[in-house]
């Protein structure tokens, strides 16, 4: 397989250090079953230290759910990429639809954050995806193209430095996942556009994850699509057994 699969667990605003340690330990005890699949955990900032202890020197990656576009400064309540790096993170989720929707993050802001993450050698999982009315009005590809071009504008990276996550907003936390065909179609479109942005050799090797109500029941069918290089999992990543099952389906 030219693109090693990645399964990432976005714990959102769930867990405190004690429950985060427990969840991480329950997942990590199965690490010998993960095979070549890369696994990454994204606890809330306040649980990073606890999960770092558990992850230790294993290959499981640790990541932040967001970051600021400056390294430090008078930005009360914000966390920088430098801070994430120093807390053991090698990845960061950027452009998540919940950040766009509830915190007003624009394509331009996300572009600045992506630039900073790349500069600081944090691998961003750059999320994008259309809302339901946009899909219903036949605007899916237009939205994806705009988000992709604006988010990545002016940036240079290769396939090891960045991951894309196609996350249709209507599928996030709703229990309604995109069908494997819908996801594969969007991934193919994104890869085609990436080809123009970064050139075919890098585009071919960049990983595009699917996110939106992935659970152990639907993971197999999604991963059967060769365009789907893994998953960004929200709700189901809070249940160790289910998350482990999803990782195993990606093998
Ligand atoms: C997400 O948070 O990125 C996500 C896809 O959530 P869920 O799996 O709960 O839909």
Nearest atom, ligand 1, residue 165 CA: 3
Residue whose CB lies within 8 A of the most ligand 1 atoms, among 66, 128, 173, for a mutation test: 173
- The pLDDT value recorded for residue 226 is 95
Q: What average pLDDT does the chain have? A: 97
pLDDT for residue 2: 81
The per-residue pLDDT for 1 is 58
Q: Whose CA is nearest to atom 3 of ligand 1?
A: 234
Q: What is the pLDDT of residue 65?
A: 98
Q: Is 192 a catalytic residue?
A: no
Catalytic residue at 185?
Answer: no
Looking at domain 6-250, its CATH class is alpha beta
Which pLDDT score is estimated for 127? 98
Q: What is the chain's Cα-based Rg?
A: 17
Whether the CB-CB separation of 40 and 9 falls below 8 Å is answered with yes
Q: Break the chain into its structural domains and give their ranges.
A: 6-250
The best mutation among 209, 214, 216, 231 to test binding of ligand 1, ranked by most ligand atoms within 8 Å of the C-beta, falls on: 214
Of 1, 117, 133, 137, which is closest to residue 69 (Cα–Cα)?
A: 117
Query: For the chain, how far is it from start to end, CA to CA, in angstroms?
Result: 11
- For 200-250, the pLDDT digits (tens) are 999 999 999 999 999 999 999 999 999 999 999 999 999 999 999 999 999
Ligand 1 center–CA 81 separation, angstroms: 22
């Amino acid at each position: 397989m030219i693109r090693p699969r990645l399964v990432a667990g976005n714990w959102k605003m769930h867990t405190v250090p004690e429950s985060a340690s427990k969840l991480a330990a329950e997942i990590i005890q199965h690490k010998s079953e993960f095979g070549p699949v890369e696994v990454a955990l994204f606890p809330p900032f306040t649980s990073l230290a606890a999960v770092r202890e558990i992850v230790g020197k294993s290959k499981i990656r640790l990541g932040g759910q967001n970051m600021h576009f400056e390294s430090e400064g008078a930005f009360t309540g914000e966390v920088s990429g430098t801070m994430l790096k120093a807390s053991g993170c090698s990845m960061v989720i950027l452009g998540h639809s919940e950040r766009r929707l509830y915190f007003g993050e624009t394509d331009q802001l996300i572009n600045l954050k992506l630039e900073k993450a790349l500069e600081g050698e944090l691998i961003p999982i750059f999320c994008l995806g259309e809302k339901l009315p946009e899909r219903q009005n036949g605007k899916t590809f237009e939205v994806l193209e705009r988000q992709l071009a604006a988010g990545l504008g002016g940036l240079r990276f290769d396939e090891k430095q960045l991951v894309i996550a196609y996350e249709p907003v209507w599928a996030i936390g709703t229990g309604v996942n995109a069908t494997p065909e819908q996801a594969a179609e969007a991934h193919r479109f994104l890869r085609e556009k990436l080809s123009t942005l970064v050139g075919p050799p890098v585009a071919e090797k960049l990983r595009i994850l699917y996110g939106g109500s992935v659970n152990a029941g639907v993971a197999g069918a999604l991963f059967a699509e060769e365009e789907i290089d893994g998953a960004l999992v929200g709700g189901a990543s809070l249940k160790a057994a289910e998350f482990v099952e999803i990782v195993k389906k990606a093998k």
